[in-house]
Structure 1
Amino acid sequence: MRSLMTARLILHPLTAAEAALVETGDPAAPPRGVWWAPGYPDDGDRAAARRFLATCAGMGDPQPFGPYEIRLRGDGPAMNGPRTNRPEAGRPMNGRPVNGRPVNGRPVSGRPGPDGTRAGGTEPDGWKADGPAIGGVAFHGRPDMAGQVTIGYGLIHSARGQGFASEALRALLAFARSQGVLSVKGDADLDNIGSHHVMASAGMRLVAVDARLKHFRIGWGSTTPAGRRPYSRARPTDPDVPG
């Protein structure tokens, strides 16, 4: 399946093989053609990869309702703070050798839409990222019988405070709705103010508070984009067509 794209980010759907590499957390062994920013993967990324691999083993691959690696677009604005430069041919990157010159990304035609995605929200055939992975955003499995999914997300420390998490979450929510999902929920610790802001800025509402967590949700009832039926576990979805 194709990646989701925003003005600054690429949300790459992880395969089981890629998730296994994230789970080991070895910065010297990212998937071929991809590199990781310093600090990636962190404990949260490794935990998400383990959960995905367990789901694949027990129930099959849930994609497109699985984890997405957040990568900076090579043709987009650079991340503030410590910058991870694109490696030159044969020169080391974060202490690891690079074999050959990376494939440069080419701009996608079209202006970003209201949700921040471009040209239908997916990458064109043959397009590859040339920015580093900085975190992840994920569905915690396929929608339940009520058409609801749970989401989670996280960024490396140096990528926080720049709107990347909200941008990624908005794209994931738009994709979920385009697939017929009726509601999305997420939660965060009571003192995780940054995460509360991310969900609120993406359009999710605070719906409950307990002793440990604040719970957020967004729902669309039976309203889905034109031509889409509400998600049913009895029917497959087409992950290559976001809407």
Structure 2
Amino acid sequence: MTAEVNSWAFSDTDRAAVYRAIQTRRDVRSHFRPAALPDEVLFRILAAAHHAPSVGFSQPWDFIVVADAVVRQAVKVSFDRENARAAENYEGERHELYQSLKLEGILASAVNVCVTCDRARGGPHVLGRNTVLDADLFSTCLAVQNLWLAARAEGVGVGWVSILAPNDLARLLGLPDHVVPVAYLCLGYVTDFAPTPDLERAGWGERIAVDTLVHRDRWGHPYKHSDDTAAQPLPESPEPPC
């Protein structure tokens, strides 16, 4: 590719940093430090989330920063109840492994953030949402991903607590009927970003090779590529000095 065609590409260093943020992002549950998260860092991260793409430029997200210990304890109670119910889905060794997993950092993290979706934002006819009504929810998930990658660039860990009843969150956080919780996140500085995801390290699952997931033109037709274009690991930028 000529320089003219690729004139909008990042420099090698900047591009490697983007890929490094993607590759080293982790769902953090157990490595939080007690240090506070400064507002200026938190708002940089939330501003990055707010710059996510959204259907019809509707920007359906809001961010509820949950710092109050009483509210967080109530959310933890909801998690404990739902986690006990989820454990019933497994038996034998799988059940024991599930019980051993650390799946939240609600109380240990510096702050919690609930990312919501206002399903009425933009009015009854949002451009691009006529056929797929859940495009607003998809947009909100993109905001979550932006948040996660920005946090990683800031050295801030994020853990998504999905084992929560949406009705509990809506009640505890006082959400209007047209606003739904999409992601309950735990944010804070960490002692470590693990080299591999927790669930992979614990033996719960393995990363699927991307080559097996790429189809050409229709399902079940593998995308054939030459050996020299086989999927390579994401490029990394050098680790910063300690």
Is the TM-score greater than 0.5?
Answer: no
Give the alignment's TM-score, normalised by structure 2: 0.26
Give the alignment's TM-score, normalised by structure 1: 0.26
Higher strand share: 1
Question: Larger RCO: Structure 1 or Structure 2 (Cα < 8 Å, ≥ 6 residues apart)?
Answer: 2
